[in-house]
Amino acid sequence: MPSLLFVFAHPPQPQSCFQDPGPQETVVVGHGPRRYTQPSLGPPCSLTLWSVPFHIGLPCTPLQLRAFLTDILLDQLPNLVDLQGFLAQLALAEPQPPKKDLVFEQIPEIWERLERENKGKWKAIAKHQLRHVFSPSEQDLRLQARRWAETYRLDVLEAVAPERPRCAYCGAEASKRCSRCQNEWYCCRECQVKHWEKHGKVCVLAAQGDRAK
């Protein structure tokens, strides 16, 4: 399990000049502090190493670590200067506001009402659906075909079109359509006559195709 390692330096304690600080080593097994003391040319300095596993969580926020980054510690461990600068920038940064997501809960009220009203009637409903929905008569098919033909007529589609048709010859707004092919629009009779030299062959072919259908 990976761990975070924190190093804290404690100032030397006043000692008697007759006291021999000799090499000492104290090791505590586990996740607690491990204390290591050794003599040096100057006064002894003690370091406390805290090993904090990730799975137990940190006892404080990252910004609270600034209190432990003293001048003495930075003199002994210059690499922690970058950490001190990062914590200073983190203190000035503004945290993003928490987002409150909407929670939708679907309640099948319509489904429950249909089940409650039609309880014990499912066989009769199935027979009615089979007779009237899945087995339409010839008259019903003709009626449905007539409705589709009226819905998808060119006049209806052009009425709901966002733009008005334009004259095929001059480009002005048109209100009259070729009576033979029903495809080209014209603003007046003169434009239709002038455009007939170009439109005549296409118009004849389109009219023959409609008759073949």
pLDDT tens digits for 80-95?
Answer: 888 888 888 888 877 7
User: For residue 58, what are the CA distances in angstroms to 85, 107, 108, 175?
Assistant: 20, 42, 45, 78
For residue 209, the model assigns a pLDDT of 66
d(CA 66, CA 190): 89
Nearest residue to 186 (alpha-carbon basis) of 178, 157, 156, 205: 178
For residue 158, the model assigns a pLDDT of 65
Domain ranges of the chain: 3-12+19-92, 164-213
Low-confidence ranges of the chain (pLDDT < 50): 1-4, 7-44, 46-47, 49, 51-58
For residue 41, the model assigns a pLDDT of 44
Nearest residue to 182 (alpha-carbon basis) of 147, 210, 145, 151: 210
Q: Which helix (H) or strand (E) holds 137?
A: none
